[in-house]
Amino acid sequence: MRALLAGRRPGSAAGAGLTGTARRIVRLNYGFQLLFNLLWWMPVFYAYQRQAGLSDGQIFGIQSIYYVAFCLFEIPTGLIADRIGARNCLRAGAVVMTAANLAPVFSASYTGFLVHFLAIAVGRSLTSGAASAYLYDGLRAEKCGEHYLKAEGTARALGLAAKVVCWPLVGPLMAVAHAAPYVLSAASAAGSLVCAVALPRIAGPDHRAVDANGGRRGGAFLRDAGAALRCVAASPWLALVMVQGVAIFTLSRICQVNLFQPILLDHGIGEASSGGVLAAMTVAEAVGSARPQWLGRRLPPVAWVSILSVALAGTLAAMTFGGAWTVIALLCLFAVATGFAYPVQRKLVNDAMPAHAPRATLLSVESIVDRAVCALAAVAAGAYLSAGRLDELLWHSALATAALLGAFQLLLRSGVVKRDRAGGGRPAARPLDAAGARSR
């Protein structure tokens, strides 16, 4: 267990090389990711808003606004993270998320839920690139960069495991206090702030000093933005890897958040069972996130991401054929594929970046692309559901994913886009080794 919390395999040579600071970074990252993302209201927010009098159009309209707002907020927050330091951005994000989760408690109305999701967009945009950038740069500064993939995957797995324990309790807790899911989410976000405050100060990727406030000396917002855009323009491989991740993010987000309850209700699975089903999915995703090395070494990571994206699309389409238990099994299979894909895709993007690039800003660029597509998908999902065309929505989502990945593979195989070497000098597309890092 201590080896797991330290982000290493027992008995591995690499694990023995973790420094004390690296262990502290990994453990506090686990705590932050677990608590920040522990949204108790997730299994019931659709039904909660329906009970508050919102229509499907209003609910999905808020989701679309959320994704657009997320895109807009990602532009300045990524720059802020590279300017003032990722650690300070994590602290700010935790404060905003705490306040955001309290908004529906004081106003369970369209306005209250809109404010709630807009504030969540601010909080998550502050941390979306900063959390990964802090972990990646912190481990590299401690000469423990080979632990990044394992640490990223395990952090996600532990957060998912916490949801398994908590989400089935949402129903009984709501019977005692209707607003309990939002109050508990705010308390969890406050706990993530404690972890963010305890994070150690680190050197940047080019070993520039980080001042006492966590901000880097030198550099301006516009200069960092220009540097990020130049990195993307100069590296078609980086741009292509970012675009490939759109399929995973959009499918997982739309299915697990926006369509989860409508899919269950369409197959006769009531609201009382939604927490248990989501817990089962979370167990499946946690297993995949904790063990990306199970994918093996026969294929490079970029190929695995494409295969897993196709698996997600096929699973969605298959849900149109089965009954209740078949759909639950397919949702769990969907979750396993998502768990495998996320840490591999995240490492692909990080490895494709130049060593001295503004990492948090570039990760925000990736997030902007992902959520811009999600904004369009949320609007489409609302229109399909309002027309009673859920099955068509699932099929069309699968076909769109297949078209995107087909174009990606054509570009890759045509030789038009060359695979860059990673910022650390390693090829960006070698297989995963047994510890989850790329083979040398």
pLDDT in tens, 377-414: 877 887 888 788 888 888 888 888 888 888 877 877 77
Residues 367 and 224: their CA atoms lie apart, in Å, by: 17
Residue type, 338: T
Q: For residue 419, what pLDDT band results from cuts at 50, 70 and 90? A: low
Segment 149-164 mean pLDDT? 81
pLDDT for residue 169 is more than 60 = yes
Asked if 345 and 238 count as a contact pair (C-beta separation under 8 A), the reply is: no
Write out the two tokens for 297. 């070494």
pLDDT for residue 141 is more than 50 = yes
Residues 78 and 231: their CA atoms lie apart, in Å, by: 15
pLDDT for residue 218 is more than 70 = no
pLDDT for residue 23 is more than 80 = yes
Q: What is residue 439's predicted lDDT score, i.e. its pLDDT?
A: 33
For the ranges 18-22, 72-76, 144-148, 215-219, the lowest mean pLDDT is seen at: 215-219
For the ranges 155-169, 304-318, 426-440, the lowest mean pLDDT is seen at: 426-440
Domains within the chain, CATH numbers bracketed: 19-414 (1.20.1250.20)
Segment 33-38 mean pLDDT? 91
DSSP secondary structure string for all residues of 290-357: H-GGGG-SSS-HHHHHHHHHHHHHHHHHHTTT--HHHHHHHHHHHHHHHHHHHHHHHHHHHHHS-TTS
How does the average pLDDT of the chain come out, rounded? Answer: 77
Supply the pTM of this predicted model.
0.62
For the ranges 35-39, 231-235, 425-429, the lowest mean pLDDT is seen at: 425-429
Residue 379: helix, strand or coil by DSSP?
helix
Asked if 302 and 348 count as a contact pair (C-beta separation under 8 A), the reply is: yes
pLDDT in tens, 313-325: 888 888 888 788 8
